[in-house]
Structure 1
Amino acid sequence: MTDPNPAQPSSKDRIRVLITDDHALVRTGLKFFLLASDDLDLVGEAASGEEALQLCAEVTPDVVLMDLIMPGMNGIAATRSIRERWPAIQVITLTNFQEPGLVQEALQAGAMGYLLKNVTADELTGAIRAAYAGRPTLAPEATQALIEVATQSPTPGHNLTAREREVLTLMVKGLSNQEIAERLVIGLSTVKFHVSSILSKLGVASRAEAVALAWQYHLVA
């Protein structure tokens, strides 16, 4: 026979959630999502990254729902600070933005999940439970963004060293190897080594091609 009054999860079994978003309407909507779940407790609302840090210190949530774009400290900076100061607190990014760079930055800052604000109540509560258990959840759009980042060819010259960029700058100015050596006060053989390395990293066979790529991709100031 079914118990007409099933036991509610004890407080120690409930997941403590902090909402961080600078829009009151969004916080209100999220609050209704959470209140409908028997195993989730809303322990605080923050309108900025700074408030989120303060509340983390005061109420120690298990999971923080974090907007990205807010006045003052943004969501990425707040996520990084929370994860550094309270490693046990998990953060889920909840935003309208799906640009690959933002997805990558949020995850690198320590977010356990990345969801868009068009998420359903079931998807959101499922992501909160997953984050609490240490499992990541990504919106399909976020997954696609990461795939795009992974499959993009890196910009030519991304792996040049600081010294190689100095040499390339002087190459663009038309200096010879001897003139570069004198300008940088290094040996001619060292300059030749740097030039050879630059050509190799840029995937070109001549100085002229290297200079052309430097202009095209703004590799030098």
Structure 2
Amino acid sequence: MIELVIIAATRFYREGLALVLQSVGGFEVISTGAGIEDIATDPATSNRGVVLLDVTGSQDGRSAVISLRTRDPGLRVVPMNVPEKESDILAYAELGAAGYLTRGHSIAELVRTVRSAAAGEFRCSPCVAAALSPGAAQSIVSAGLLSHREAEIAELLEQGLSNQEIARRLCIALATVKNHVHNILDKLGVRGRAEAAAWARVQRLDRSALLRTTGARTPPATGVRPATVPVDRQVNR
């Protein structure tokens, strides 16, 4: 049984989340609160369990992670509703978060992430795994993953260009750019442009890894799965 603490400013949100997770089975919600101060004196939350921390409220999510882990080092904190930006995702990981959930995640993904956190694994996309554990990246990224054009667009995503800006830069139709971006996300197994840009940055667009070799097949979209990184292998804080 995985013990859970839910921190969210909106009462019906945290209570609804508690009902959903308990209906799944294998979870016990032992405490809920609007902020970290609401669970600070609850002995049931000390040094155990997984804390789901909604970072969309008024409290500073990063400060909350630091405070919770300083007070109770055994807590595994999973920030929820993290902005889908590489800097935010990596910042929470570097602070010792046991996982993360962006705003577009489903209940099924929430369940998988919590179970991974309880097992001491940081569930993340391949690009985030590569950033946290560069040595593990080679087991995630295979040669020939992107076409030449997709690699070009991935490089422009890393530079922060919009679809329209990419279309103008490459002199191609906007619809073509959108199609390429969709294919890039599928092939890399990432959840958004920010994670694709992070992947490109980590790999430094190594052409030997990104470009298809003659006659090589492109792996299917399901070929790259979310990775898990042991919590103790995250970036030293």
Normalising TM by the smaller chain, what interval?
Answer: 0.5 to 0.7
Aligned-pair identity in percent equals 23
| 1:19-98 map, 5 Å | 19-55=6-42, 57-60=43-46, 61-72=48-59, 74-95=60-81, 97-98=83-84
Return 111-120 or 86-95, whichever deviates more.
Answer: 111-120
Report which structure shows greater RCO (CA 8 Å, sep ≥6): 2
Matched residue, 1:100: 86
CA contact (8 A) 1:17 1:41 kept: yes
Secondary structure at the residue paired with 1:136?
A: strand
Q: Give the Cα separation in 1 of the matches to 2:3 and 2:74.
A: 12
CA contact (8 A) 1:104 1:146 kept: no
Matched residue, 2:102: 116
1:47 partner amino acid: A
CA deviation string 1:34-76 (max 9, x = no partner):
1113210001112123334444x5533500011223224x221
Pairwise CA distance, 1:148 = 6.0
Q: Give the Cα separation in 2 of the matches to 1:79 and 1:145.
A: 25
Unaligned runs of 5+ in 2: 126-189, 205-237
Structure-2 change in CA distance of 1:100 and 1:43 (3 Å): same
Pairwise CA distance, 1:110 = 1.0
Pairwise CA RMSD: 2.7
The partner residue of 2:113 within 127, 135, 144 is 127
CA deviation string 1:149-173 (max 9, x = no partner):
6478xxxxxxxxxxxxxxxxxxxxx
CA contact (8 A) 1:95 1:116 kept: yes
CA contact (8 A) 1:113 1:127 kept: yes
Q: Give the Cα separation in 2 of the matches to 1:117 and 1:29.
A: 17
Matched residue, 2:124: 138
Pairwise CA distance, 1:116 = 2.1
1:120 partner amino acid: S
Structure-2 change in CA distance of 1:26 and 1:104 (3 Å): same
Q: Give the Cα separation in 2 of the matches to 1:144 and 1:53.
A: 37
Secondary structure at the residue paired with 2:24?
A: coil
Equivalent pairs, count: 138
| 1:158-197 map, 5 Å | none
CA contact (8 A) 2:82 2:88 kept: no
CA deviation string 1:96-116 (max 9, x = no partner):
521222212211111111112
What TM-score do the two structures reach when normalised by structure 2?
Answer: 0.50
Unaligned runs of 5+ in 1: 1-13, 153-221
Pairwise CA distance, 1:23 = 1.8
1:78 partner amino acid: A
